[in-house]
Structure 1
Amino acid sequence: MSEPGNRRSLVLCTTAALAVLLAGCSSGSGDPEAGCAPPKPAPAAETALIPAGLSFERIGTVTHVENSGANVTMTAVSTKPLDELTVLIQDAVTAAGYRPAGMDNEGFEAEVFFTSGSVAAGQAVVRKGECEGQWTIDLVLIDPKTVPSSTAAR
């Protein structure tokens, strides 16, 4: 059987190791994002697929872009408040030649809808991110080059 002093040492060592481990998960600053790594920006080859005129510079970090031929899909991460974020997304997509078609903001999730001419052209879905205070944005837009010329945005 071990001595009481050895047990106490084991408990103290375990407690100290646990404190060091937990300290690595948080800066202790009270900042909710302190334990989260910053989002990794999409590579230049992906960001080159973003439609002309569309910028998320004021919104957040674009983390993934894909072009399926008919659709452009973007994922981004932001720390802006949800109400501000929906307006910024609408402004950014409008600057790229799409038209706003409505918004649904439930406080914990939001959708922003777009048209191009008379065609439903896409939507942005904003949901709580993996880290406290972050929002994940999934934007899908039809590629403006695939819209028939009779319905293209003017």
Structure 2
Amino acid sequence: MVERGVRAPALMGAVAALVAAGCSAGSGGDAACAAPTPAPPAETALMPAGLSFDHIGTVTHVVSTQGHFTVRAVTTKPIDEVTVLIQDAVTAAGYRPAGMDNEGFEAEVFFTSGAYAAGQALVRRGDCEGRWDIDLVLIDPDSAPPPTT
């Protein structure tokens, strides 16, 4: 019985040390708050020509499906700045800005291509403090039907 009483405080101390280490100010207290993992080059190669997130944040996933591109990214830039940077990046890829709605905790940036609504970027507060998640969906302009006259 005495041995159990001696080990319990030692075990509790070890558990407390592990919990404190996991919740230290430097770690964010959450493994999910590690640096974002960049998408592999094979995925980033799927992005539309001219589209770059180099000045925006880390691209974490890219998918190209029939007629659409989806880009996911993470940034630490302020939401007011990142919405303008996204607009500039997508414009450089040949799309036109069509509006923006920024509520401070979430923002949307809309784009056109020719006569079509061509997509939007959604910026939302991330799970980690100071981070914003970006979901950009664009149509492939080459897949859009020609305009009717």
TM-score range, shorter chain: 0.7 to 0.9
Where do 1:67-106 residues align within 5 Å?
67-106=64-103
Q: Is the 8 A contact 1:27 1:34 kept in 2?
A: no
Percent identity for Structure 1 against Structure 2: 61
CA distance in 2, matches of 1:34, 1:9: 29
Shift of 1:18: 2.0
Tell me the CA shift for residue 148 of structure 1: 3.8
Query: Shift of residue 21 of structure 1?
Result: 3.5
Which residue number corresponds to residue 10 of structure 1? 8
How many residues in Structure 1 have an aligned counterpart in Structure 2?
147
- 1:18-57 paired onto structure 2 within 5 Å: 18-23=16-21, 25-29=22-26, 32=28, 36-57=33-54
Query: How does the TM-score come out when normalised to structure 2?
Result: 0.87
Structure 2 gap ranges (5+): none
Q: Is the 8 A contact 1:63 1:75 kept in 2?
A: yes
Amino acid at match of 1:7: G
SS class of match (2:128): coil
Please report the RMSD computed on the Cα atoms of aligned residues, expressed in angstroms: 2.3
Distance of aligned partners of 1:33 and 1:116 in 2 relative to their CA distance in 1, 3 Å threshold: farther
